[in-house]
A and B are shown apart, each in its own frame.
Chain A
């Protein structure tokens, strides 16, 4: 095999990020298949056990190879090196050294050599095989067999899940749980007690007793196959139990995810989604850690348990091929005490334990993420340059000036805020994703206590802020120590994080706050209230030395805050990011006049479009601000998609009989954040009739899809013809071809939303030739996109509805319903408002 082919083989079977598991899979396969082949030409003392062991290794290895191959078929490539990988490599090299030492000293691991040995080609001097490599190899083989058993247990779980055999799955889980709970030391005792005299360990015992005539028969490791096989199965059940319960957790989490719902709508099988997304893309490192850590733990347990059993061995009780048997190879001195351990036995022990410990510690390293750096005005993520001409945090204007960071989605605003926050000692970043700030395990009371611990009475300040936002539910949650914050809606979590930051800034005037889209998940009234709270941090006479930085797309925020302290002659500063370059402007808005932008450069075209879109959206909002909420005048019959009652957050809600969907119409669903809009949309998607083709754009694709999923998979339907490519380009707003191979985590939130949007439109258009209705469910699709993208997507959506001749409809969850309703009414598309009231209604 040429070097290139070898390298290609290695790349295919040991992809980056999964090299150790790939290597273990190859070793298992090679060992299993080679020994099965060797069985045909060898006089094996226990052929059934030897064949079973070889089959176990080969089948476990084959399952692992398939898992790795299937997972890497269309995976985004990651080439960064991590210390964990280096540790795992070192451990496997140590194990490999042990195997090579055995090979060169005995020929045991090399089937061809073994065959030569059997047919008499090799020297007879090989008859005196050293015991130590045999024992090392035995211990390693037990570990590998345990991994193979656990892998087969995992495959069985997947098979049951694919066939929907929940009953069989439960029974097997219970059996496995009990069997896996029996630690190996007891299992080994039972096995020895049952099998020892007749068959199994007799071989090992006789071999270790070095009777030359028997040695010929038992010189190979597979001559001890019964012992190795039972030990592998016993330890593998312990690992399998852990793997099984891990897989159940993965399934449960995956089935609750939006990406699972999206995958189901795309016609994918649940088991395929769990395997691809839940297991490979989200948790493959955990699977690797479980199996590799299990391998190391199995090796250590094997040493320990055999030492324990052998140290209590009565006279005549056969020993077993592991390091534990070493005790009996050194003899007892004249005084009756065991002789000191020989040097090679010490080294062997050290080698195996070191390798096992390295393999275990390797699993503790987190995946190395690309580092964010802001140096000499260049903002980079890893090696990728995001923008030039970016000032450091020292250049931030002090309050009451407000530093804005604007740009199209994906231009690097969030990255810049992270870079600034790391440069400053006394700064606090409020991330766009509230889960980055609030651990899921904390309760509302914990959050309140956290505030109280930070400063006396800060919990009271937090309470007041929540009161100003008219958020009685979150206020009450401060007195609920048993409900985790993860059960709150995204908007509620975001409010909690923002209010904590506001409380911190009120306590410490020298603390710089960096808000990343603080209102993206808020309804209009809460947005206004939040902005009022932010405005209070910007008094005309500010004595502190801190800054306030705001990155926002929300036109409401821009309209409310940008330059609105101009009456006090305080300009705002704007950093506009476009095409890898930062442009700085100052903005003033004298009372009664339009905002004045001043900067060293002319306004880039992107900024002009941005401001124009913002103005259009605000005009649309103002056009509808006097209207009362009204339903569509059309009263033609429609499709009822929901049952008459629905549980949202544990509370029953009555669904109005008028909640029906009609073709060619836009349905705007709004309500306070946390009221259950996303739950309602998911309920529609979950029980769609067969005659309807449903597309689903979730609120948070960044969390829904695994970070490493390539964009082409998120897109769902790859554009084929030129017209499809053109359509995707129009919906996404830019050519997508370059992005297809990139992982979804490399995209900004806005880009992810646009990718899913474009993909779902393309898919339901393709699949819906025979469908009665094409229904697009849009859960806050404009929450993270800039105003120009918002306007463009809204216009495309309205155009799509208009051109469909009554075959398409869309349900749009919106936190800026006035803007969206205004645009829809202006376009002449029939529109209906849906609202959710609190409580029974």
Chain B
């Protein structure tokens, strides 16, 4: 015998499915828009590269120069001499004579020579060939932007997550009764330290900035450095933890622990406003970690591209060549900035409802 259960269908039965579908639609639309923005921005970089390649700027190579270490050794010696001078019993005039004597021994120092070649226009085919070649500056710039982009996006994403987590910590300490409350409070303190203090520590390590033999690698440490740079992630977490929005209390009263997801989502939405002005700083930090990785002799990874391009920009024989390389670095950074900005806007679109009625 088959038993038939009559289940009354409530008008709100489909609400969960509708919410899930709407969230999926919003995320898919955001992802599509982001991908389109990525394609447009890299196409823009290609156009810049094509324009730059339309000029033939071949010029004479600059002459070989004295190595940098020779200058550095000399400068250090002068510095030491000047530092010692303050302690020595000699007169200022004598010290100045000593400094001048030191200076006389310095290797000749000249700026790189300027190329006098005038750029000339080349055809589109030739320009395209220059851009499409394996070792073109466009490829270097695009590879550099592509390698720095994951760091930027990951840093923004973990900043949003940190804000969400901090908001949950702030509410959790009120939601647990008795002994659990003390545990929740301890967990909240530890969590806050992990979100706010820990990521900031590398910023205080001067060797990470000034030591050519050191880098952050291309892992979690590098992402955390980018996220912490300009206080992005710690600021987002601290703002979410300290915020005194009355609706967070109301939502907690309404749904208890089950409302934590909504509270976290609202905190992430709020963090977007904090992160938006910081995107250019984070883009620069993303380039920095990639370029430092390039420079690190201990690293065996592939070159990021932008490091090579910066090096090229500073050692090209002619000003026009330098400007071309710099323009590509700038273009790559604009691509990073634009995509970082777009990422945040799409995150806001996915997390919240539309701002005006349809």
Contact = CB atoms under 8 A, between A and B. Distances in A.
A190 B281 contact: no
B198 interface: no
A300 interface: yes
B15 A364 contact: no
A186 interface: yes
B67 A315 contact: yes
B261 A185 contact: no
Contacts of B243: 366
Contacts of A332: 69, 72-73
A254 to B, nearest CB: 16
Interface stretch (A341-349, A554-562, A799-807): A341-349
Nearest to A307: B209
A542 interface: no
A592 interface: no
A209 B206 contact: no
Interface stretch (A40-48, A221-229, A290-298, A633-641): A290-298
Contacts of B264: none
A313 interface: yes
Contact of B12 (A290, A356, A452, A485): A452
Contact of B253 (A194, A313, A346, A429): A429
Interface in B276-330: 276-278, 280-281, 283-285, 287-288, 291-292, 295, 307, 310-311, 313-315, 319, 322-323, 325-327, 329-330
B313 A189 contact: yes
Contacts of A599: none
B72 A349 contact: no
Contact of A314 (B256, B287, B315): B315
A303 interface: yes
Contacts of B76: 329-331, 339
A211 B330 CA distance: 34
B215 to A, nearest CB: 11
A372 to B, nearest CB: 12
Nearest to B114: A197
A331 B15 contact: no
A586 interface: no
Interface string A162-195: 0000000000000000101111111101101110
B82 A128 contact: yes
Nearest to A360: B231
Interface residues of B, number: 118
Contacts of A272: none
Given A183-B280, A454-B256, A441 B229 contact: no
A327 B212 contact: yes
A242 B230 CA distance: 15
Interface in A105-149: 123-125, 127-128, 131
Given A183-B337, A202-B111, A454-B259, A354 B204 contact: yes
B177 to A, nearest CB: 7
Pick the most buried of A184, A294, A450: most chain B CB atoms within 10 A of its CB.
A450
Contacts of A501: 254
A441 B12 contact: no
B5 interface: no
Pick the most buried of B99, B242, B254, B274: most chain A CB atoms within 10 A of its CB.
B254
A431 interface: yes
A472 B197 CA distance: 50
Contacts of B95: 125, 128
A338 interface: yes
Interface in A247-266: none
A817 B10 CA distance: 37
B356 to A, nearest CB: 7
Pick the most buried of A123, A193, A349, A448: most chain B CB atoms within 10 A of its CB.
A193
A326 interface: yes
A718 interface: no
A181 B338 contact: yes
A128 B333 CA distance: 39
Interface string B74-100: 011111001001100000110110011
Interface stretch (A457-465, A656-664, A709-717): A457-465
Contacts of A186: 326, 329-330, 332-334
Interface stretch (A395-403, A432-440, A606-614, A687-695): A432-440
A482 B283 contact: no
A313 B333 CA distance: 20
Interface stretch (B31-39, B49-57, B232-240): B232-240
B219 interface: no
Given A331-B73, A454-B259, A364 B238 contact: yes
A437 B247 contact: yes
Given A338-B212, A441-B266, A316 B287 contact: no
A194 B330 CA distance: 14
A453 interface: yes
B314 A331 contact: no
A271 B105 CA distance: 64
B193 to A, nearest CB: 13
Contacts of B11: 460, 463, 475
A290 B314 contact: no
Interface SS of B by simple majority: helix
A316 B110 contact: yes
B277 A294 contact: yes
B354 to A, nearest CB: 5
A360 B209 CA distance: 20
A314 B314 contact: yes
Interface SS of A by simple majority: helix
B353 A483 contact: yes
A445 B72 contact: no
Given A308-B291, A330-B76, A449-B15, A483 B330 contact: no
B352 A441 contact: yes
B123 interface: no
A360 to B, nearest CB: 3
A788 interface: no
B67 A307 contact: no
A210 interface: yes
A767 interface: no
A62 B353 CA distance: 41
B230 A353 contact: no
A460 B196 CA distance: 41
B280 A181 contact: yes
B319 A194 contact: yes
Interface stretch (B16-24, B131-139, B153-161): B16-24
B55 to A, nearest CB: 15
Interface in B189-219: 196, 200, 203-204, 206-207, 209-213
B250 interface: yes
A309 B255 contact: no
Interface of A: 123-125, 127-128, 131, 178, 180-187, 189-190, 192-194, 196-197, 202, 208-212, 238-239, 242, 246, 290, 293-294, 296-297, 300-301, 303-305, 307-309, 311-318, 323-324, 326-332, 336-339, 341, 345-346, 349-350, 353-354, 356-357, 360-361, 363-366, 369, 421, 425, 427-429, 431, 435-439, 441-443, 445-446, 448-454, 457, 459-460, 462-463, 475, 478-479, 481-485, 487, 500-501, 504, 649-650
- For the complex of A and B, the 9 pairs showing the least CB-CB separation, nearest first, are A331-B76, A360-B231, A481-B22, A186-B330, A441-B352, A193-B322, A454-B255, A443-B353, A242-B277
Interface of B: 10-12, 14-16, 18-19, 22-23, 65-69, 71-73, 75-79, 82, 85-86, 92-93, 95-96, 99-100, 103, 106, 109-112, 114, 177, 196, 200, 203-204, 206-207, 209-213, 229-231, 234-235, 238-239, 242-247, 250-251, 253-256, 258-259, 261-262, 266, 269, 274, 276-278, 280-281, 283-285, 287-288, 291-292, 295, 307, 310-311, 313-315, 319, 322-323, 325-327, 329-330, 332-334, 336-338, 351-358
25 contacts: A183-B284, A183-B336, A186-B329, A186-B332, A189-B330, A190-B326, A193-B326, A210-B103, A242-B277, A304-B284, A308-B287, A314-B315, A315-B66, A317-B315, A327-B212, A331-B73, A332-B73, A427-B253, A436-B247, A437-B246, A442-B266, A445-B19, A453-B255, A457-B10, A462-B12
